[in-house]
Amino acid sequence: MKNFDYIKPSNLADAISALKEYENAFLFAGGTDLLVGMKNNFLKPQYIIDLKGISNIKSFEYQEGWHFGALTTIRDIEVSETLQQKMPFLCQAASSLGSIQIRNRATIGGNLCNASPAADIATMFLAMDSQIKIISIDNEKVVGLDKFFTGPNSTILNRGEVLTEIIVPKDAEQFKGVYIKFGPRKGMDIGIVNIAVLLDADFESGLCKRIRIALGAVAPTPIRARQAEGLLSGNALGPDSINKAAELASSETDPISDFRASAGYRKELVKTLVVRGINTILASNRNS
């Protein structure tokens, strides 16, 4: 690891001005990606700005939608009884990330800003139609998470900008959902394909009112399968329509081949997982 200076501001304004003042400064949230990158000399910051001294971005609250401070840990989401009641699918995605040791430290803001195409929480937040708040020294803006990622480990964030909040619209609670991380082992792995499905349906008749499908590890960023969503929204959910949507979702992906799986395998897997995701939600809600 290269030498660096450590700065720990106690409020956001100081963090933003430090980021502006020092070139080659990195924001430090949970550190579970940052420190690994620094140890491998893949990242060589001269300054790291620890955000953990800023108390008002560490928790979440409901206020016309859910507002999650960027430094909320993955573990805080996983174990929140309120969230388990309102949006259990979000807790499920949180629970599938890393290990307890990682979840105790890793933050949702860090997960988004690291911009891994396979990020668990990012994929779920994308399905939830989340927005993010970005603050800089003279500006504050809210943008859709679907506009945030620009490629592997890259986002729209410019130097001097800080992601401070993730906003989940209040209607997310109306959905039933599931997160599936597909891989050979449950813990401490990155999914071969990740999928988040949120479904708002009349479970008696099988009518799909709205559906959202987000996919991870099948494109340079987490993506939404918009065409598949469009095919099912407002229509009956039957084996034929679900299979067609699965085919369509697969065609919307652009995976790579790596040591985990080939691109072709990932494309096939998307078909299976779209069907599995929808059927899992149907099976667990038909009788409720």
Partner 1 sequence: MVKKHQIRTTVNGEEYDLLVDPKKTLLQLLRENLDLTGTKEGCDEGECGACSVILDGKVVNSCLVLAVEADNAEVTTIEGIHRGEDLHPIQKSFVDSGAVQCGFCTPGMILTTKAMLDEIPDPSEEDIKHYLEGNLCRCTGYSKIIDAVNLAIKHSK
How many CB atoms neighbour CB 138 within 10 A?
8
The span of 37-45, 163-171, 209-217, 241-249 binding partner 1 (CB under 8 A) equals 37-45
CB of 100 to partner 1, least distance (A): 5
Residue 104 or 279 with smaller CB distance to partner 1:
104
How far apart are the two ends of the chain, measured CA to CA in Å? 54
Q: Is 32 in the site for partner 1 (CB under 8 A)?
A: yes
Q: Is 207 in the site for partner 1 (CB under 8 A)?
A: no
Using the contact rule CB under 8 A, the part of the chain among 28-36, 147-155, 170-178, 210-218 near partner 1 is 28-36
User: Which residue from 247, 252, 254 is spatially nearest to 271, judged by alpha carbons?
Assistant: 247
CA of 58: how far to CAs of 51, 108, 136, 172, 207, in Å? 9, 10, 19, 21, 39
230 contributes a contact to partner 1 by CB under 8 A: no
Q: Which three-class secondary structure state does DSSP give residue 177?
A: strand
Which two structure tokens, joined as six digits, stand for 13? 């304004």
CA distance 67 to 162: 16
Among 13, 39, 44, 150, binds partner 1 (CB under 8 A): 39
Q: Which of residues 4, 22, 203, 265 is near partner 1 by CB under 8 A?
A: 4
Closest by Cα among 184, 126, 188, 135 to 158: 135
Shortest distance, position 42 Cβ to partner 1, whole Å: 11
Dist. CA 40–CA 2, nearest whole Å: 10
Burial of 12 (C-beta count, 10 Å sphere; 0-12/13-18/19+): middle
What is the DSSP code string of 196-241?
Answer: EEEEEEETTTTEEEEEEEEEESSSSS-EE-HHHHHHHTTSB--HHH
- The answer to the question of residue 273 lying near partner 1 (CB under 8 A) is no
Q: Which is nearer to partner 1, 97 or 128 (CB)?
A: 97
Binding mask 171-200 for partner 1 (x = CB under 8 A): ---------------xxx------------
Judged by CB under 8 A, does residue 105 bind partner 1? yes
- Cβ proximity to partner 1, 11 vs 262, nearer residue: 11
- If one asks whether residue 152 binds partner 1 (CB under 8 A), the answer comes out as no
Query: What does the binding site for partner 1 look like in residue numbers (CB under 8 A)?
Result: 1-6, 8, 31-32, 35-36, 38-40, 48, 50, 52, 75, 95, 98-102, 104-105, 186-188
